[in-house]
Amino acid sequence: MLSRMADHLFWLSRYTERAENLARILDVTQRLAAMPSAYGGASNVWQSAIATAACTEEFHERYETATRENVIQFIIGTDNNPHSIKACIETARANARAVRTAITSEMWEILNGAWNDMQRMKRADMLKSEQMSRFLARVMEMSLRFDGAAYRTMLRTDHYWFQRLGTFVERADNMARLLDVKYHVLLPEQERVGGGLDYFQWASILRSVNALTSFHWVYRKSVEPWLVADFLILRHEQPRSLVSCYTVMHEYLDNLAEAYGRQGPAQRMARTTVARLNNAEIETLFQSGLHEFLTEFLAENNRLGQAIIQQYLS
């Protein structure tokens, strides 16, 4: 396969996954902002949305404060933010258009339909809670449908493996950022860890990734920070967990190595991270610092993404 085609497939999936993640960030932020005042009110939830989206610097170049209106306009993209949901869908569609012969008609129609929806979006409507909720639900549904179409319709060749690698590199990055912001940024200093506000926030994080019900199936306990971290980092049963993402990436990188007859840094890095996650224990991660672990994981994940690009896409 030409490296240019592999590059389009890789970034097509990264931007589709990123659009879904941004929608989930806004969805959980809206839930947290709507908490009853009896919970103590987390005044920094809108700022945390910007931190989770990893665009704090770009946001404050345009706005002084992270208000509901500013954050919604910035993340959805009604102010022409190049890192917004709108920009992600447009970039994903452009990549898909460049590789129409490498993806299925179902995948193209889903992305093209989402792009057409974005063109009809009215800025004023996005600030209305009901309209915004419907829009975010459509974005998340688009990504889920695209993911399902890829899984059910693509041939299991290098086209498919590069497409899936983009999905899981982005998914691992998004999950780690979501956990890190909750643990390190979101809970106000005066609030007690394990208190009512803490419980509501962790439950909202689980709900934002459609994992609250499955969490209770696995643990059959109340929502506790270390259990949520264990579920979203180390449990293979959870398809969005960091270990699940890396197990899949390891498999697809090995498939590419076998197909192309050689291994490289990307395979070695994925293998090392999978072994590290499989041998980790959540108690040890909390004792040594969950924030420090997640920061290092994000750096490792970024290095893996760069290794894939240098090894196959450039």
pLDDT tens by residue, 99-123: 999 999 999 999 999 999 888 877 6
| Band of pLDDT at residue 185, cut at 50, 70 and 90 | low
Of the ranges 33-47, 94-108, 157-171, which one carries the lowest mean pLDDT score? 33-47
Residues 209-213: what's their mean pLDDT? Answer: 88
Q: What is the pLDDT of residue 43?
A: 53
Q: What is the pLDDT of residue 40?
A: 44
Question: At residue 59, does pLDDT exceed 60?
Answer: yes
Residues 291-297: what's their mean pLDDT? Answer: 93
Report CA-CA distances (Å) from 50 to 17, 42, 147. Answer: 17, 15, 25
Sign of the CA dihedral running 70, 73, 78, 84: positive
Distance CA 314, CA 310 (A): 5
Q: Which residue has the tokens 């970034």?
A: 11
Report CA-CA distances (Å) from 175 to 122, 181, 182. Answer: 30, 10, 11
* Whole-prediction pTM: 0.90
Residues 130-141: what's their mean pLDDT? Answer: 89
For the CA atoms of 225, 34, 133, 68, what is the dihedral angle to 10 degrees? Answer: -100
Residues 49-59: what's their mean pLDDT? Answer: 88
Of the ranges 75-79, 132-136, 194-198, 232-236, which one carries the lowest mean pLDDT score? 194-198
Of the ranges 39-53, 124-138, 250-264, which one carries the lowest mean pLDDT score? 39-53
Share of the chain above pLDDT 90, in %: 60
Q: What are the extents of the domains in the chain? A: 3-313
| pLDDT tens, residue by residue, 250-280 | 999 999 999 999 999 999 999 999 999 999 9
Q: What is the pLDDT of residue 216?
A: 92
| Band of pLDDT at residue 184, cut at 50, 70 and 90 | low
